[in-house]
Structure 1
């Protein structure tokens, strides 16, 4: 099972995206855990996640997250920014597909 972390600023709209991504995962027959946390809470879960997607509102934190993700014990985690259009339209399938492409 893969674990996907969405990093956001407050988590309100991102929690809706999580729900839509979970539906996309279910439709695809993929078992995964998807959750959202604010940037300040992300470091405490790095050892538990396989992929990190940043909300467009925190894209400026990508370098900091990549640095933290590279230093975790289990090895580096792929990190990317959610497309602004996909985020704005809450396109859970597109964001889920992006996460799957990062996971290989």
Structure 2
């Protein structure tokens, strides 16, 4: 299996970094080869030139940008989805990773 890259985009990338670390731990426990990182949503499109992105997950605080982000990533075949508020707030990495897996 080739490595998949999951980008989490939020307002500033701070709180999402906690979720990223938890998701990495869960992925490792499941022997999943995922590269997971966080970035501010304002920098998300710049990663198209730097990384092979397979999925973009938006923090619920930037859900209003879903349409704009889909306009950028959908033409490249990269799914974009909003992380459910409850899972984000509870830092439920298992649920967020399950969402990611369903979209990959």
- Calculate the TM-score normalised by the size of structure 1: 0.92
Number of the residue aligned with 1:90: 91
Matched positions, count: 100
Distance of 1:70 and 1:4 partners within structure 2: 15
Task: Give structure 1 stretches of 5+ with no counterpart.
Answer: none
- Calculate the TM-score normalised by the size of structure 2: 0.92
**Structure 1 segments of 4 or more deviating over 4 A?**
none
Distance of 1:55 and 1:100 partners within structure 2: 17
Q: Report the Cα offset of residue 97 of structure 1.
A: 0.9
Q: Report the Cα offset of residue 46 of structure 1.
A: 2.6
Number of the residue aligned with 1:31: 33
Number of the residue aligned with 2:20: 18
1:61 matches 2:65? yes
